[in-house]
Homo-oligomer: A and B are copies of this chain.
Amino acid sequence: MTQHDDNLPSYRLDPQVGFLLRRANQRHLAIFARGIPELTSTQFAALAKLCELGQATQNALGRATAMDAATIKGVADRLRKRGLIATAPDPDDQRRLTLTPTAEGRALYASQVPAAHAITAETLEPLSEEDRTTFLRLLEKLT
Interface residues of A (CB under 8 A from B): 1-2, 8-13, 15-29, 32, 41, 45, 48-49, 52, 54, 65-66, 109-110, 113-114, 116-117, 119-120, 123-124, 126-127, 131, 134-136, 138-143
Contact = CB atoms under 8 A, between A and B. Distances in A.
A1 B140 CA distance: 25
Contacts of A21: 21, 24-25, 28, 139
Contacts of A28: 17-18, 21, 142
This chain's copy number in the assembly: 2
A134 B139 CA distance: 11
Contacts of A17: 28, 120, 123-124, 136, 139
